[in-house]
Structure formats: structure tokens, C-alpha cells
Amino acid sequence: MITAAVTGGIGSGKSTVSRRLAELGAVVSDSDQLARQVVAPGTPGLAAVAERFGAGVLTADGALDRAALAAIVFGDPAARRDLEAITHPLVRRAFRAVRDGAAPGAVVVNDIPILTALAVAASFHLVIGVTVDDDRRVARLIDRGMTEADARARIAAQIGDAQRRPLCDVWLDNNGVLDALVRQVDRVWSERLVPFAAAVGDDAA
């Protein structure tokens, strides 16, 4: 089995890369989805979040009130760190469960948008970064229904490619047409993933 992470800024093409890897046969898990799963109603993760931040972060029916939690952690780095200290180990454990459930010889891919999650990048066999110039990225985000101001604010709030790139083993350029990205992914699949999937041990993540 081999594990890979796909990372990149908002709108860079991570989902497109992950989708192609899934088409090629990878087992793909999405960090956003895992992050929601670990604080679903009735989970120990949600209980820990409520204990730290108070019952105000719960809705009347016991689910996480994301807006209330976001309002608390926005602009409060200590609160954000506390939240991440609760959720990140749970997300990592959930990813390990996906990995451990995969067949021997599988390629297991995790989509990880944020640097804090990249702190665990060393535990992936291959970290795939995807990049696109800001203006093109903004245009794609606008196509997806975002305002230009919102797109630029979100890009500014994230780490930049200069910080991300040194953490990546493979760097995909998504400034071209979709097909050009797909061809790069196909090459990573056949040259960097498949040949090692059967050989690599189970010691990652």
C-alpha cells in the first residue's frame, strides 16, 4: 500500500486531482469530510468540542453549530489551536482507519487543504501539490459562484505556494486546460504511485 496527500490552495484543483486518482483506482478520502465525520452528533469529538467551547456551539438537536464555533475561533488563535488539538488527531485516526481498511497494494489518497494538516505530511509516502496563478484561480472561483472579493480574501487567508511547495514531492501546474492536469495526474499515477503500491510497507500516517 502507498499513501499520498493532495494539497493546494483554495480552487487550485485538489478535488479535480483526487477525482482523477479515484478514477484510476485510488481509495480517496477527503479531509473536509473526515473533519465533519469526527464531530458528527453523538461522537466523542463533538463532546470534547462542547466541553471546551460550551453548549453554545451545539444546535437544539445536538449537532455542531458551525457558525457559532467559527465565530469563537475566528481571530482567536489560542481557541483555534485548542479546536485543532481536538479534531486533528481524530481526523488522522479516521484517515488511518480508511487506510487500514484498504486492500494490500492499494493507493490511498487524502485531500488535505491546510498547512496544519501538512505538518503530518512526512507520514505520507508522496505529497502532491497543485498550483495555479492567482488571477486564473480567482476566475475559476468566480465561475463556481464566488465573488471576486471573497475569492481574493480566502486566498490571502491561506498559506501561499512558496510555503507549501517545499513540503511537496510532486508539483502539478494547473494553469492549463483540464486535460493537461489530467495528463500530469496520470503520469504521477503510473510513475510514482502504482510501481510502489505493492512494495511499500504499512508504516505510514
| Selection from 174, 118, 164 nearest residue 4 by Cα | 118
Beta carbon of residue 179, minimum distance to ligand ATP (angstroms, whole number): 8
Which residue is associated with the grid cell 473536509? 32
DSSP H helices, the chain, are 14-24, 31-37, 44-53, 66-73, 77-101, 115-118, 134-143, 148-157, 161-164, 178-188, 194-197
Within 64-123, the residues that bind ligand ATP by CB under 6 A are 113
Q: Which stretch binds ligand ATP (CB under 6 A): 46-54, 66-74, 117-125, 170-178?
A: 170-178
CB of 196 to ligand ATP, least distance (A): 25
* 45 binds ligand ATP per the rule CB under 6 A: no
Distance CA 92, CA 34 (A): 9
- Is 31 annotated in a binding site? The answer is no
Is 15 marked as binding a ligand?
yes
Alpha-carbon gap, residue 67 to 85, rounded angstroms: 19
> What residues numbered 137-156 form the site for ligand ATP, per CB under 6 A?
140, 144
Annotated binding residue at 13? yes
Contact positions with ligand ATP (CB under 6 A) in 112-131: 113
Contact residues for ligand ATP, defined by CB under 6 A: 8, 10-16, 113, 140, 144, 174, 176-178, 181
